[in-house]
Amino acid sequence: MNSGRGKRLFADREEASFILAVLVPTMAAFLVIRLAPIAETFVGSFFNWSLVDGFGRFVGVRNYVRLFADKTFYSSFVNTINFTVFTTLFSVVLGLLFACLLNRKPRFSTLYETIIFVPVVLTFVPVCLVWMWLLDWESGFVNVALRALGLPRVSWLATPTMSMVSVIIVSVWKVIGYNMIIFSVGLKAIPREYYEASAIDGSSRWTVFRRVTLPLLKPITLFVTVMAVINNLKVFTQVYVMTMGKQGGGAQVDVLVSDIYTRSFVYYRMGSASAEAMVLLVVVLAMTALQFRLAREDE
């Protein structure tokens, strides 16, 4: 009996050891690489400090107060939210649409899948540069095509609004393929019986999509949306390359991460940048929590 109990205990210990052996290094790395910098940033947001002079004096919540009174922060915040909403909406809807279309296995479906997926694996900076050429007002392909169709040219990158629209177009184009693949996996996992039963009931395609496909894709949709929202809130590369690095007539678009970057490495105001980073963290956490809650309520 004792030996039996001992054996069971030994088995538990082994399992516990295994779990610890696997988890501890990962958790330690997570702690050092993720949590510690967040904690340091949080503490730093209450200090007036710079990269040049190091930690200065404790200023309490002053960095937050001044941040919320800063026009650039507001425009960055609004731009980030606009970008996130539109990019997420279009990339999720179009990703689902392409997945549904290709799930019917039309001719050359693999080719279409490849073409739609290719932008995902391309490096973003050169992609943005190519898009800037395509969107060039004078000689870009898009405006040349518009003129050939008898339509007026569009100042894609010359006004803040159109710069934002251009960035959204490029971002959606870049990520549709990824969303499409995830949705395709979800679609393949839906048992055929549901569709067969619907067909017997004489349901229309739209009804089948609404009553069968969408509800069963809910976990996948939630995953894709949450990932898209998190990634879009962190937008930086395309905004930086397409609107901030140009010496032509391009209009700059401020977003939260670019504003954090400017405060840190141009103004050297790390306290202010830390405060803005904490705001971004709270926004990301809040949005994610909200999405999970909405999904749970629906269940």
Residue numbers at the binding site for other proteins (CB under 8 A):
48, 50-52, 54, 72, 137-138, 153, 155, 158-160, 245-252, 254, 261-262, 264-269
Based on CB atoms, which residue is closest to other proteins, 217 or 257? Answer: 257
Distance CA 271, CA 290 (A): 29
**Encoding tokens for residue 128?**
């943005």
CA distances (Å), origin 81, targets 89, 106, 235: 12, 37, 10
For residue 48, the surrounding DSSP H or E stretch is strand 47-50
Length of the chain: 299
Based on CB atoms, which residue is closest to other proteins, 62 or 211? Answer: 62
104 alpha carbon, distance to own chain's centre = 28
- Minimum distance of other proteins from residue 42's CB (angstroms): 20
**Encoding tokens for residue 238?**
């395309």
| 3 state DSSP class of 50 | strand
Based on CB atoms, which residue is closest to other proteins, 220 or 257? Answer: 257
Based on CB atoms, which residue is closest to other proteins, 47 or 98? Answer: 47
Based on CB atoms, which residue is closest to other proteins, 112 or 261? Answer: 261
- Minimum distance of other proteins from residue 248's CB (angstroms): 5
The runs of H, that is alpha helices, within the chain are 2-30, 36-44, 62-68, 71-103, 109-121, 124-134, 141-148, 160-188, 192-201, 205-208, 214-216, 218-233, 237-239, 256-265, 270-298
- Minimum distance of other proteins from residue 261's CB (angstroms): 8
- Minimum distance of other proteins from residue 201's CB (angstroms): 57
- Minimum distance of other proteins from residue 39's CB (angstroms): 20
Beta-carbon contacts of residue 136 (< 8 Å; ≥ 6 apart): 143, 156, 157
CA distances (Å), origin 149, targets 132, 145, 152, 153, 162: 21, 6, 9, 10, 20
- Minimum distance of other proteins from residue 113's CB (angstroms): 37
- Minimum distance of other proteins from residue 124's CB (angstroms): 16
Based on CB atoms, which residue is closest to other proteins, 174 or 263? Answer: 263
- Tokens 């050169």 belong to 126
Based on CB atoms, which residue is closest to other proteins, 21 or 266? Answer: 266
- Minimum distance of other proteins from residue 168's CB (angstroms): 19
Based on CB atoms, which residue is closest to other proteins, 33 or 266? Answer: 266
| 3 state DSSP class of 57 | strand
118 alpha carbon, distance to own chain's centre = 18
